[in-house]
Amino acid sequence: MARIGVIGTGYVGLVSAVGMATLGHEVVGMDKDEKKVEKLKRGELPFYEKGLGDYLREAMERGLLRFTLDTEEAVDGARYIFIAVNTPMDDDGSADLSQLLSASRSIAKALKDFAILIVRSTAPVGSLEAMAKVLEVEGKERGRDYEIAYNPEFLREGTGIYDFLNPSRIVVGADSPEIAEEVMSLYERINAPKLTTTIKNAQIIKYASNAFLAARVSFINEIATLCEALGADVWDVAKGMGLDPRIGRQYLRPGPGYSGPCLPKDLMALIRMSEEHGYFPSFLEAIHLKNESQKRRIVWKVKEALGGVFTGKTVAVLGLTFKPNTDDVRNSVSIPIINRMAKQGALVKAYDPMGGENAKEIFKESAQIFPDPYSALEGADAVLILTAWDEFRGLDWDRVRKTVKNPFIVDAVGLFRDKGLEGWNVWVVGKG
Ligand SMILES: NC(=O)c1ccc[n+]([C@@H]2O[C@H](COP(=O)([O-])OP(=O)(O)OC[C@H]3O[C@@H](n4cnc5c(N)ncnc54)[C@H](O)[C@@H]3O)[C@@H](O)[C@H]2O)c1
């Protein structure tokens, strides 16, 4: 079994660290965030992720997993160093590589023996060469002191550890087939399709996969708007399309637009990558444009329910996370939608089953966050549902009906697509 260091223990890094320890490897996870590391040392998760806590504590009890703030400790004796820092969207839409490059610098300083640096962050073509430059400045030579491999992560937040242990595929890109195979051997105990390829191909596999998922969402949202105009029901249309095995049902769910920490930034980074190489990717641009207009459409639907003005009106928003079963509000569709309504004069009251605390940071000015749904809904002129949490279906809507000013629901996620709500006027996305 191998000794692995993991740099960055956010969603991807922590799942990788816990997953690798569960497979029997000896793992040291390192993060620069003191609070995160303190929690992890106590066996506590720094964020909500279903089932991950049990795996974390089991791996720690077996002595296969520990955490540190010190890069040297994580790297010492490790032949494999996973890098899972973030590559957020820069102002111009390209991937911001600053965390990746700064982590590379710390690793270079700490590196004593040969190691394979395995990048798990989503990183554009050219970024690993930039990393190599940083290592070179610190006196480390590619091939002699280290090798680089690219091993994209395809997990979905909310089912992260399940996805790690039961992946749809494992992809490893490296300069040589030997290095790629060696990295792949870390996953020996996982039964899944395995693909070794070049670094560039592996990078594009990751970006193209996310762009394709975004395309499916924008596509069905396009059809949803058409169904609204034609008096049809996109939910039945999506079902009928998805039954074709060539199409499939995943990511064919209409809604307020794709969002979250991956799809928007990865699509934009792919667009910028294309442009930097002299190609204007109009198809990729169209995916993004439809997503933007879908958000505006939802805002417009709420405005319509309010009689055409936001000023002086109260909108109750249910759901702030970018999808159910996570507490992650980063880059959620709720952010631009709420900000737009607030800027136009609406008073926004909001509730989320798990993302409330994270949301307080984000919506300091634009929304009041409530710890329970009933207080958020009280006095509303319109209700907007933005995340498909099951909990919302089971609310006592008769009770809510008595406390709102206007019984109008804009259901942007289709919770009430099959059965309306008695006494309520419900608009469901994609239903004419
Ligand atoms: N979140 C997802 O669902 C998901 C899925 C697949 C791929 N990815 C990709 O994986 C990467 C990480 O995403 P994430 O969601 O885990 O990000 P994250 O922000 O949750 O985690 C990044 C962690 O790295 C730490 N960090 C930053 N710089 C550091 C440094 N120099 N040294 C040590 N630690 C450092 C941060 O403190 C943070 O804990 C991104 O490139 C993302 O696109 C994310």
pLDDT tens for each residue of 212-236: 999 999 999 999 999 999 999 999 9
Q: What pLDDT, on the 0 to 100 scale, is given for residue 112? A: 96
pLDDT at 226: 98
Residue 204, pLDDT above cutoff 90: yes
103 lines ligand 1 (CB under 6 A): yes
Q: What is the mean pLDDT of residues 289-313?
A: 97
pLDDT, the chain, mean: 97
pLDDT, position 85: 98
Cβ(94) to ligand 1 under 6 A? no
Q: How far is the CA of 86 from the centre of ligand 1 (A)?
A: 3
Examine the domain organization and report whether 269 and 410 are in the same domain. Answer: yes
Is 99 near ligand 1, meaning CB less than 6 Å away? yes
The closest of 255, 287, 256 to 270, measured between CA atoms, is 287
User: Cα 45 to chain center, whole Å?
Assistant: 17
Q: Pocket of ligand 1, candidates 86, 259, 358: which has the most ligand atoms within 8 Å of its Cβ, to mutate?
A: 86
Together in a domain, 426 and 327: yes
**How far is the C-alpha of 109 from the C-alpha of 431, rounded, in Å?**
58
* Alpha carbons 197 and 111: distance in angstroms, whole number: 26
Q: State the distance from the centre of ligand 1 to the C-alpha of 304, rounded, in angstroms.
A: 39
Domain boundary among 143, 177, 196: 196
E strand spans, 48-164: 65-68, 80-83, 115-119, 146-150
Annotation marks residue 227 as catalytic: no
Per-residue pLDDT of 83-95, as tens digits, reads 999 999 999 999 9
Contact 148, 175 (CB under 8 A): yes
Residues 6+ apart with CB under 8 A from 307: none
Assess whether 320 and 206 both reside in one domain.
Answer: yes
Predicted confidence band of residue 238 (pLDDT cuts 50, 70, 90) = very high
Q: For residue 150, what is the domain's CATH number?
A: 3.40.50.720
Q: How many domains, in total, are found in the chain?
A: 2
Q: Inform me whether the pLDDT recorded for 8 exceeds 90.
A: yes
H helices present in 231-281, as ranges: 234-242, 263-276
Instruction: Please determine, for residue 199, whether its predicted confidence score (pLDDT) is greater than 90.
Output: yes
Question: What local confidence, expressed as pLDDT, does residue 78 receive?
Answer: 98
> Whole domain around residue 91: which residue ranges?
3-196
Percent of the chain with pLDDT over 70: 100
According to the model, what pLDDT value does residue 159 have?
93
Decide: 110 in ligand 1 pocket, CB within 6 A: no
pLDDT > 90 in the chain, percent: 97
**Ligand 1 center to residue 284 CA distance, Å?**
25
What CA–CA distance (Å, rounded) separates 317 from 346? 11
Gyration radius of the chain over CA positions: 23
Whether 222 and 162 map to the same domain: the answer is: no
* Ligand 1 contact via 151 beta carbon (within 6 Å): no
> pLDDT class for 419, splitting at 50, 70, 90?
confident
Q: 185 and 75 in one domain?
A: yes
Which of 405, 348, 393, 400 is closest to 374 using CA atoms?
400
∠ CA 137-116-179, nearest 5°, is 120
Whether 189 and 210 share a structural domain: no
Residue where a domain terminates, one of 196, 213, 234: 196
Residue whose structure tokens are 């430059």: 133
| Residue from 14, 262, 376, 421 carrying the catalytic annotation | 262
pLDDT score at 34: 98
Structure tokens at 291: 């997503």
One domain for residues 221 and 353: yes
Q: Quick one: how far is CA 231 from the chain centroid? A: 33
Residues 292 and 385 placed together within one structural domain of the fold: yes
H or E element that contains 184: helix 177-184
Identify whether residues 290 and 179 lie together within a single domain: no
CA dist 120 and 173 (Å) reads: 11
Does one domain contain both 356 and 287? yes
Q: Is the same domain home to 182 and 218?
A: no
Question: pLDDT-derived band of residue 432, with 50, 70 and 90 as boundaries?
Answer: confident
User: Does the beta carbon of 57 lie inside 6 Å of ligand 1?
Assistant: no
Residue 410 has which token pair?
């804009």
Domain end residue (candidates: 148, 164, 196): 196
Compute the distance from residue 87 Cα to the ligand 1 centre, in Å: 7
Contact 367, 343 (CB under 8 A): no
Same domain, 211 and 95: no
